[in-house]
Chains A and B, each alone.
Chain A
Amino acid sequence: MEDWEEDEFDGPVKKFMYVNRKAPYGTVYALEGLEVVLITAAFDQDVSLVFIDDGVFQIKKDQETSGVNMKNFSPTYRALEGYEVEKVYAEKESLEARGLSEEDLVIPVEILSAAEISELMDTQDMIVSF
C-alpha cells in the first residue's frame, strides 16, 4: 500500500465511485484503475465500483493470459472484499448487449439497470472513470 496505511488517515469520508468502461489487456486503464480502487479503500472511504459498457469484460471469468504474456489481474477483483469494497455493481444493459450474464463473472456483483446506475452516480462526491 505504498506509504499509506489505514490508520494514518482520519479525515472526512466521501463517496467515491469508480466507473470502469474499458476492457482489460487492450489498454492499461483497467489494471491501473483497479490499483486506485484498492488505495481508496485503504483510506476508509465510501467506495463504489461500477462496471458498465466494455468495463464488464474486466470481470469475465476464465481469463487466461499466458498466451499474450501479460499478467492476469482478474483474480485481484476477488481481493476487493478483503479491502471492504462491497459496493460492486454491473449494468444489466451492458452485460446483455455483450452476451454476458451473472454466471460469466469472476466475482459476485449486484446487477443494476442503467437508470439505477444513473441514480447512484448522482449521489456521489467524486466520480473517477477509467
Chain B
Amino acid sequence: MALLHTVNKSPFERNSLSDCLRRAKNGSAVLLIEDGVYGALQGTSASDEISSRDGSIKLYALGPDVDARGLSEKPLIDGLELIDYAGFVDLVEEYSSVQSWL
C-alpha cells in the first residue's frame, strides 16, 4: 500500500509541496501538476527540499503543464520524470489511493 500524492500549487506561493513531502512516506509517489510544476525546477529556493527525497519517493511532473509554463528547456530536478495525462492515469492505477494536496 503506497499513495500517489498530487501537488498543484507553486512552492513559491503556498506550502502545499512542503506539507505533502512532510507526510509522504518512503515508497510513495509525488506528482506535480498545474502550478505545482514550478516545484520541478532545479536550482530554486524550493529545489533542495524535494531533491532530498529523490530515491525514497518517486517524483513526477505533468509534461503538458511544464510546457505550458515555458519550462520545457529549463533543467528539472534529478530523478524527476515527466509524464502525460495517460501516465497520470497509470500512476493512479499503480498506487493504492490518491491524496490531492489542494
A21: which of B2, B96, B98, B101 is its contact (CB, 8 Å)? B101
B25: which of A19, A29, A118 is its contact (CB, 8 Å)? A118
The interface residues of chain A lying within 8 Å CB-to-CB of B74 are none
Please encode chain B, from 83 to 102, with 1 for each CB lying within 8 Å of some chain A CB and 0 for all others.
Answer: 00000000000001111111
Classify chain B: how many residues form its interface, as a range.
10 to 19
The answer to whether the Cβ of B68 comes within 8 Å of any Cβ in the partner chain is no
What's the minimum C-beta distance from A16 to chain B, rounded to whole angstroms?
10
The residue of chain B having its C-beta at the shortest distance from the C-beta of A124 within the complex is B97
Most B CB atoms within 10 A — which of A29, A53, A125? A53
Interface of B is mostly: mixed
Give the docked Cα–Cα distance between A125 and B99 (Å).
11
The answer to whether the Cβ of B15 comes within 8 Å of any Cβ in the partner chain is yes
A127: which of B2, B25, B97 is its contact (CB, 8 Å)? B97
Interface size in chain A (residues, C-beta < 8 A): 19
Q: Which of B16-24, B34-42, B44-52, B59-67 contacts A (4 or more CB under 8 A)?
A: B16-24
The answer to whether the Cβ of B3 comes within 8 Å of any Cβ in the partner chain is yes
The interface residues of chain A lying within 8 Å CB-to-CB of B2 are 122
The interface residues of chain B lying within 8 Å CB-to-CB of A121 are 3, 23, 97, 99
Partner-B contacts on A (CB < 8 A):
19, 21, 29, 52-53, 93, 114, 117-119, 121-127, 129-130
Partner-A contacts on B (CB < 8 A):
1-3, 15, 19, 22-25, 96-102
